[in-house]
Each structure stands twice: as C-alpha cells, then as structure tokens.
Amino acid sequence: MDDQRQSLQAPLASVQAFTESLLEQDAISQSSELKADVKKIAKAAVTMTEMLASISGFAQDSQTELSRLRHDLRNAIGLVDGYGDMLLEDCDDEVAGDYIRQIRHQSRLFQGRLEQFNLGDDGKVASDPIAAIFKSFKRGIIRDDREHMAASILVVDDNDSSRDLLAHQLQRQNYMVIEAASGARCLEIMRSAEPDLVLLDLVMPDMNGYEVLQVIRADEALRRIPVVVVSGMQDEEGAVRCIDAGASDYLLKPVNGTLLRARIGASLEAKRWRDREREYLAELEKSQRFIRKIFGRYLSDEIVQRLLDDNDGLQLGGELRQVTILMADIRGFSALSQQLAPEQCVQLLNNYFAAMTEVIQRFRGTVDEFVGDGILVIFGAPLSDSDDCDRALACAVAMQLAVETVNERNRADNLPEITIGIGLNTGDVVAGNIGSELRSKYGVVGHNVNLTGRIESCTVGGQILAAPATIAASTVQVLAGRRISVSLKGMGDAVMLTEVLGVGIPYDLLLESAPEEWQSYKENISLTLSVMAGKKNGAKQFKVEVCARAGESLRVVSAEVLPVLADVSIEGFEVACYAKITEQLSGREYVLTLTSANTQLRSLLQMNSSRGR
C-alpha cells in the first residue's frame, strides 16, 4: 500500500512544484483570472496530497474507504485537467505554457497510476458505498455481448405486486429498473437519477399519476423524460387527458411483455432522437456564439450571419456587385502620432473607431477593414438594398457629426482633438472571401475602391466629397456645397466632385459649420510650401504671401500657379506643418487649409491676425 501511495504522491509533488513556478511568471501573476485558475490547481493538488496521507489510517480490508478515496481523487484530478486546459487556451506566454503542459503531463501520469490502484479482494466490493447508491436498481440478465449500458426505467406504482411484475418483465429485457411507490418519490428520483423513461401508474394515494404528469409538464428538465402511463382503468377519456398532459403513451394492465417491449422501445428511440437533436442544437448554438464573439469584433453583423446561414459562406471566391464605398481617415494623423506616446495613440484611435463603428452599424454599413487611422466601409455587400447609396451618404454626414463626441472623449483623456475627411464613390467591385484556405477575409477589390481612396485624399478635415456616380445613384435630397474639378490618377478626364453638406428626409442630417469671416493682415506673412510626393516632400516649392485667415483656412497669394487639392508641407518650422490647397479664388489667390499646424505657426498666425481685418 505504501508503494502505491508513494507512486501517486510523486506526480502530485511535481504538480505542486510546477504550480509554484507558474505563479511566479508575469503572464500569470499580472492576470487575476489566470492567477485564480492556477491557485485552484494548487489547492486541488494539496487536497489530493492530504487524501493520500489518510491511507495510513485505513485497515487492511478497508474497501469502503479505499473506494471512496479513489472516487474523490478522480474528482480532484479532474479539476487539475479542467483548469489546465483552460489555462492553455487563455495564456499566450510560451514559458507559462511549458509549465502548464508539464502539469497536465503529471496529471495524466497520476491518473494512469490511480487506475492501477489496488482495491483488494473483488468479493468485498458489495460493501462499497458508491455501489450502494444504486441499491434501488434491480438488474436483469446482463449479456456478455452487450456493448452499451441498458436504459434506466423508473417504475412507479403503489401496488407492490404490480410493481414487481413490471420490474420482472423489464429485467428480462435487460433494462435497469428503479422503483418508486408514490408520486412524490417518483419526482424525487426523476430529479436525482434522471431515468430514460418512466412507467407511471395512474391511481395512487396522496398524488395520483395525472397530478404527477402536470408537475412534469411544468418542469423544463423533467418534461424531456418520456412517461408511459400504465393503468388498470379502461377509460378512453382518461387516456386522452394523460396524453394531453404530456404522457408519451398509455398502456392497460396487465401489460403483455411483447407489447411492453415494443411501446418502450418506440418511446426510447424517440427520446434518443430528441436528445441528439437537442445536443446538436446546443453545439450549434455554442458554435454560433463562438463565431459571433470572435468574428463579431471584426466583421459586421450581416457577414457573421452569412457565415452562419450560408453553407458556402467561408468558401473563397467573389462576385461582381454594385456598391457604394465610404473611406474616411483622420487628417494630419501621421504628424499627430509622432507627438503622442504609443498608448495615447492607441487610445485616440480606439475613441475614434468606437464612435465611428457605432454610426456605421446604425446605417447598416459593412466595415471592410481598419487601415491605420482609415476606415473602409461598404454599402451593398454582402447584402444589398435599394437605399445603399442613400445610407452611405447619411452615414458620412453622421460620422462627421460624431467627431464632436470623439473630441469630447479625447479632451477627457487629455488627447488632442481630431478632424476627419470622407470620400464616397459608387460603382462595380468584386466582393467575396479573399485570401487562402488558411487565412481569408470578406472584402472588395477593384478600380472603384482605389478611386474612392483618391477622392478621400482630396478632402480636408470636416469635409465630405462624393463622386458623380454616388450623387447620381442617390434618391435622397443632398445638400451640396462646392463642386470641385480634379484630375485623379487612373482617370482620363477630370472628375467633378461634390461637397456634401447634408441629406434630407428620412435622415435629415446637416453639418453644423458656420462660415468664419476672413481676418485680413496689415502685413502679409511669407511662407514656403513644398508639394508632397506621397509621404515625403517633393522637389517643387512655392513662395506664397498669407493675406487673410478664417479659422483653419488661409488666403494666400502666389506668383505661380498652385496645384489645387495638392497636399503641401509648410517649411521653416521645427515641427512639421501640413496643409492642402483647397480652392483657387481668382487669378493668383488661393485658399490654403491647415491639416496639421504646430504651436509656433499658430502663434505667428494669431499674432499677425490681431493687427486688423
């Protein structure tokens, strides 16, 4: 006995040692949930060690104590396995994972040795209290060729002779029988033992069979168990009442053995199919919850539902769809991100994405992806409606209005305020699952996606620019601002973009932008502009004179022709400043809109603007 105890104590000691090391790992100690799970493993190991120490007090023939000990040890080692599996799923740390795997290995070793634990003379197992739990079970003939345990049947009858007769018939058919002499006892056993089927007498004192059926029908767990009423009363109306109350069948006493076998077999087969269906539905619901939880963080509800509903939802491939594409990003974010700590930058983006995603979902848009500070949204895929274009326009206005909410959060978090630009375009794209069998995403590709990005790049903070195709496809009233003719890469002719200021009923959304008055300078401010080539300064520079200011807009005079809608950097400052040439007023006058300005430039502009109008 001592040798067996020591063989079990060795893997337990290893579990305790690995658990102590695991608790010292940062990945565990810094997570309250992971730490709690590891402590539960440690507690289980201590409990099992204490259980094994009690063996020395057992008598040589203590079969009852040894049986209960092994039962309790199985429960405890199950905790080690269960929490170990959860830790492996939740912990990404490689070192901590190695410790967890070692704990699981020792657990498997312990279980193997526990199965070899000697209980002594098999003839004494009859005194085992675990087996005594089933003393009310009457087993029939057990055939050696049976592959599965027989179904358990609860026989309920206050008449001992009738109950014994049914039990004897069932035992001959190799069913496991449990007996109850009253309705109350029947319900008690149903809740504790969960039999596969109940044979219920109708006429019993205190609580009759019909009253039992009513209780069963009202209980979600109990009504899954089929009930066959067995009665000596040839009452057709009573039989109908029993069936209506939830009984699966109705038999008359004395019951023919062959008929009893057939009726019970049919009821059990129906229960097995219901159980399988319930298990299947539970697994399906579990899978759907998992998909919604994991993919719902990245995909729209429409795409998640398509994954769940469509057998081909995860297959690679695409289809040609007409969609309206919305693209938005934060103006001057590159310069902004260089001034923020990494955690501040992430917090700012999270504030922005949280507010924008809520707006997008409200207008049933599909977030295709987040790219840096940019958002690509699709209206018309994977599901399309006649108002796709209208919802896209309304969504764009609502997103601009939601920027104030973002800035309120930013101010509360001591973060800078932001502005965004939004571009809209409508046209054909290829939409579908793009990627490989190992990794894929639902998205859209094509010329019109690229064109939308170029339209968005023409915007300044607070502005929405829409392609002609979007304006033409809309049925909602659009409040239009300036129309801007631009030459875009990939487009042969110039494109006339429309500035969207609002949309009418049923959305009734309007950008709140009161025009600021121009403040003239008594003395012009000289600035040097470099046209941007991508993210870098180009070789071409222009000398301009700032003669007036209105908010973030500067009216400048240039001796040379300036490229409208070009992004420029403003030279001569320690921290980079950026702007966009948004409009040509007349001849040599242009409007320059600031997209990223440092304190030095703003002070210079403010100081000079105070000289007069």
Looking at domain 314-510, its CATH architecture is 2-Layer Sandwich (3.30)
Question: What does pTM read for this prediction?
Answer: 0.52
Fold of domain 2-127 = Four Helix Bundle (Hemerythrin (Met), subunit A) (1.20.120)
Please report the DSSP string for 137-182 in residue order: EE-----TT--SPPPEEEEE-S-HHHHHHHHHHHHHTT-EEEEESS
Residues 6 or more apart whose CB falls under 8 angstroms from that of 27 comprise 34, 91, 92, 93, 95, 96
What pLDDT score was predicted for residue 293? 63
The most confident of the ranges 202-206, 413-417, 517-521, 540-544 is 413-417
Place 290 in a pLDDT band, splitting at 50, 70 and 90.
Answer: low
The percentage of residues in the chain with a pLDDT greater than 90, rounded to a whole number, is: 27
- Examine the pLDDT at 133 and tell me if it is beyond 60: no
Task: Please give the residue that has the higher pLDDT: either 592 or 294.
Answer: 592
- Examine the pLDDT at 488 and tell me if it is beyond 90: no
Reduced DSSP (H G I as helix, E B as strand, rest coil) percent helix, strand, coil of the chain, to 5: 45, 25, 30
Task: Please give the residue that has the higher pLDDT: either 56 or 312.
Answer: 56
What does the alpha-carbon distance between residue 491 and residue 508 come to, in Å, rounded to a whole number? Answer: 33
What pLDDT score was predicted for residue 124? 43
Average pLDDT over residues 414-438: 87
pLDDT digits (tens, 9 = 90+) for 86-132: 788 788 899 989 989 889 888 888 878 876 766 454 444 444 444 44
* CB environment 179-190: b (16+ within 10 A), e (fewer): bbbbbebbbebb
* CB environment 457-466: b (16+ within 10 A), e (fewer): bbbbbbbbbb
Task: Please give the residue that has the higher pLDDT: either 57 or 522.
Answer: 522
- Examine the pLDDT at 608 and tell me if it is beyond 70: no
Chain region(s) in the chain for CATH 2.30.110.70: 519-609
What pLDDT score was predicted for residue 204? 86
What does the alpha-carbon distance between residue 613 and residue 611 come to, in Å, rounded to a whole number? Answer: 7
Query: Is residue 568 packed enough to be buried (19+ CB in 10 Å), middle (13-18) or exposed (0-12)?
Result: buried
What pLDDT score was predicted for residue 295? 56
What pLDDT score was predicted for residue 464? 96
Residue 5 Cα distances to 51, 206, 373, 503, 529, angstroms = 10, 53, 62, 80, 84
Instruction: State the average pLDDT for the chain.
Output: 81
* CB environment 394-427: b (16+ within 10 A), e (fewer): bbbbbbbebbebbbebbeeeebeebbbbbbbbbb
What pLDDT score was predicted for residue 78? 65
Half-sphere exposure of 8 (CA within 13 A, CB side): 26
The most confident of the ranges 30-34, 268-272, 315-319, 463-467 is 463-467
Average pLDDT over residues 55-70: 66
The type of residue at 478 is V
Place 606 in a pLDDT band, splitting at 50, 70 and 90.
Answer: confident
pLDDT digits (tens, 9 = 90+) for 160-214: 877 877 887 788 788 899 999 999 999 999 998 889 999 998 888 889 888 999 9
Chain region(s) in the chain for CATH 3.40.50.2300: 137-275
Place 594 in a pLDDT band, splitting at 50, 70 and 90.
Answer: confident
Q: At what angle do helices 257-295 and 160-172 cross, to 10 degrees?
A: 70
Whether domain 137-275 has CATH 3.40.50.2300: the reply is: yes
Place 243 in a pLDDT band, splitting at 50, 70 and 90.
Answer: confident
What pLDDT score was predicted for residue 383? 81
pLDDT digits (tens, 9 = 90+) for 375-419: 999 999 888 889 999 999 999 999 999 999 999 999 999 999 999
Nearest to 599 by CA among 333, 330, 335: 335
Task: Please give the residue that has the higher pLDDT: either 569 or 395.
Answer: 395
> What φ, ψ does residue 310 adopt, rounded to 5°?
-100, 125
pLDDT digits (tens, 9 = 90+) for 304-345: 666 667 655 555 567 889 999 999 999 888 878 888 899 999
What's the distance, CA 152 to chain centroid?
40
Fold of domain 519-609 = Pnp Oxidase; Chain A (2.30.110)
Average pLDDT over residues 26-38: 89
What pLDDT score was predicted for residue 137? 40
